[in-house]
Structure 1
Amino acid sequence: MRLGIQLGYSGEGFAAAVDEVVEFEAAGADLVVVPEAYSFDAVSQLGYLAARTSRMELASGVMQLYTRTPTLTAMTAAGLDYVSGGRFSLGLGASGPQVIEGFHGVAHDAPLARTREVVEICRRVWRREVLVHQGEHYRIPLPTAFGKPLKLINRPVRDRIPILLAAMGPRNVALAAEIAEGWQALFLDPAAMSRVFGPALAEGLARRDPALGPLDIMVPLPFAVAEPTEPLLARHRAQLALYIGGMGARGRNFSNDLVRRYGYPEEAAAIQELFLAGRRDEAAAAVPGRLVRSTALVGRTPELRDRIAELAAAGVTTVLVSPLAPTREERIKDVAELKQVLIDTPL
């Protein structure tokens, strides 16, 4: 199982976070993932990380499907793969209508069909094919007097950059299992994996091209080598409340839908009502403790071994941890200890 580091949304602490990532790399971390949402873009930060690291892989987590043309997405991924020496993976996601329509002013329509077309176009660009694509949502070149089929000028480091699709809904998960090298999950409860995601994964894997290799299942987790106390997990509890309650409108919130499928329909409804009413502390308090603990990786070393074994049994192949320890020294130590647990635990 690979050990990744999940960075938070960029801000004033980015330079210090990168300094820490360099130490995480020395401690054995295999991967660093940079989100985007409606903060600073992920691309500029990934370029900076490419220059500051030497071994670990880099991934977007995730670049948004609607905010770049498919061709620019492919060009950007090829550029990041070039400056990192072949260490980049393209994490893509549809985000949600509040961000795409509210912040970017672009219609959030047909996410499944658009994802499939974008992935197809990217792979053609990386193979340096003369690009002609006549899809339902993208037409390249446009049928104008000046539209001319072109191919990428540069020769990419790799003609197949790994694509990681973020997905929560059954149809999105099935699509990721079918066409992507990896699936980026969110708030994954391994005990519910087979019940909630099993049918979708099986559907997608049945259509998967064997040339893609095994599906890399990636899970972000707040992490600490410590007792799972309420104060330590408070930030994770607040994040769950934010996503379940506020990342979307009533009837259009993917995290809320997921928690309902986990078996918390009443709690999901209550969290959303409280959050949208501005009662955020009460919304966080309403998040079930079992959900908080099952979607985190916090415990002493014996408990961590058991949790890693549980995640592996559920099919997880990469953990993306957000270290919770209060000091940098403790966070580096915890990541090194987790790396040793991954080495020592038979999976």
Structure 2
Amino acid sequence: MPRLGLAVPIDGLGFTESLELALEAERLGYTDAWAYEVNGSDGFTPLAWLAARSTTLRLGISLVPVFTRPPALLAMSSASLHHLSGGRFVLGLGSSSPNVVDRWMGGEHSRPLTRVRETVEAVRLALSGDKAAYRGTTLRMDDFRLGLPGAQVPIQLGALGPRMYRQAGAIGDGVITVFNTAAATPALLEDFYAGAAEAGRDPSTLDVVSKLFVAVDEDLDDLRPMLQRFLTGYGTVPAYNALLRRQGFAAEASAMADAWADGRRADAMAAVTDELLRALIVCGSAAECAEQLGGFVEAGVRTLLVAPITAATGDERRARLEHTIEAVARMIDTVAVDTGETPELY
């Protein structure tokens, strides 16, 4: 059976309100809660809140950009959450994008593949509890000693392209995916498993987390305007645009990027076709959503990370989001497929 996670905070809800829903999700049988950081909450703070109030949830970040925090600080935050949660924390690292790193954070998004690898190596050294020094080509750390007990914190890597998938298999404890279709997921994971094999690792011990936007009993016609705006914001970023191309949506990706570059925002959003929406968004009746989620599990996803969405506004919004969270909890037994014995992760 796959693990089932809730992505928090939930768009359109108050910060604390979202975290309270994560506690309710735990009571419903969810195994995980994963925070994220873009331009709202940081990724660590909501997990500290949940660490103090939850009992069984695995708490992950999907993900922290490697360019916005030095390895020593990442180790400090990770060790803190590890000890607060009784060992339930998972650190997710990724390269993010030039818009976030360069424009918003004032950093430099350069040599992302190398920076991710070096950050993983340096963070693991720092988490050992021994005095640690690291010299790489993109970062350094001199004579750092963690002031907390050492911690064995799993580190998963976010991946969009083949090289990062391969690196995640080689050095990560799992891979974190987003905007992958069920049909394309097996092909995307080939590089992940190849990286694991080349490093002499057992792929069955590694996690595959897919963040999935889910709307149960919602009408696609109602969701379409919101989703077109949302997907255009990502699909015009080169790395995400390339991901869409690799999954068979080259025409949509080209139309979206060309229109955006010309300043034709409406045309860029119109390039998000219903075919693309149906491939990327889990939407429909409970039975239809269960079938779609089952497709991701059959494709190799081991942790379904649900980001509930709705077209509802006002007082109805929370009720609709709660409906999706509860409906997915009820259907989780039906989305399990016979993939053989699944070892406990971590």
TM over 0.5: yes
The answer to whether 1:75 aligns with 2:76 is yes
Quote the residue 1:262 is aligned against.
247
Quote the residue 2:16 is aligned against.
15
Range that drifts further, 66-75 or 317-326: 317-326
Deviations 1:77-114 (A, max 9, x none): 11112222222111111111122111222221111112
Moved over 6 A (4+): 9-12
Quote the residue 1:146 is aligned against.
none
**2:64, 2:92 within 8 Å by CA — same for their partners in 1?**
yes
The 5-angstrom pairing of residues 14-163 of structure 1 reads 14-141=15-142, 149-156=143-150, 159-163=151-155
**1:256, 1:268 within 8 Å by CA — same for their partners in 2?**
yes
Corresponding residue to 1:239 among 230, 240, 261: 230
How far does residue 198 in structure 1 lie from its aligned partner after superposition?
4.2
Structure 2: which 5+ runs fail to align?
338-346
Relative to structure 1, the CA distance from residue 227 to residue 41 in structure 2 (aligned partners, 3 Å threshold; closer, same or farther) is: closer
Number of aligned positions between the proteins: 331
How far does residue 180 in structure 1 lie from its aligned partner after superposition?
1.0
**2:290, 2:335 within 8 Å by CA — same for their partners in 1?**
yes
**1:97, 1:108 within 8 Å by CA — same for their partners in 2?**
yes
Deviations 1:117-148 (A, max 9, x none): 1111222222222212232233332xxxxxxx
The 5-angstrom pairing of residues 192-203 of structure 1 reads 192-195=184-187, 197-203=188-194
Quote the residue 2:344 is aligned against.
none
The answer to whether 1:340 aligns with 2:345 is no
The answer to whether 1:273 aligns with 2:258 is yes
Relative to structure 1, the CA distance from residue 295 to residue 107 in structure 2 (aligned partners, 3 Å threshold; closer, same or farther) is: same
Mapped to 1, the partners of 2:228 and 2:9 lie a distance apart of 16
Deviations 1:324-343 (A, max 9, x none): 24443443343233223222
Deviations 1:165-202 (A, max 9, x none): 1110110111111111121111011111233x144223
**1:74 partner letter:** A
Mapped to 1, the partners of 2:24 and 2:189 lie a distance apart of 37
The answer to whether 1:328 aligns with 2:318 is yes
TM normalised by structure 2 equals 0.87
Relative to structure 1, the CA distance from residue 25 to residue 275 in structure 2 (aligned partners, 3 Å threshold; closer, same or farther) is: farther
Range that drifts further, 273-282 or 29-38: 273-282
Mapped to 1, the partners of 2:154 and 2:203 lie a distance apart of 9
Quote the residue 1:144 is aligned against.
none
**1:230 partner letter:** D
Range that drifts further, 105-114 or 32-41: 32-41
Relative to structure 1, the CA distance from residue 330 to residue 288 in structure 2 (aligned partners, 3 Å threshold; closer, same or farther) is: closer
Mapped to 2, the partners of 1:34 and 1:235 lie a distance apart of 22
Q: RMSD across aligned C-alpha pairs, in angstroms? A: 2.3
Over the matched positions of the two proteins, sequence identity in percent amounts to 31
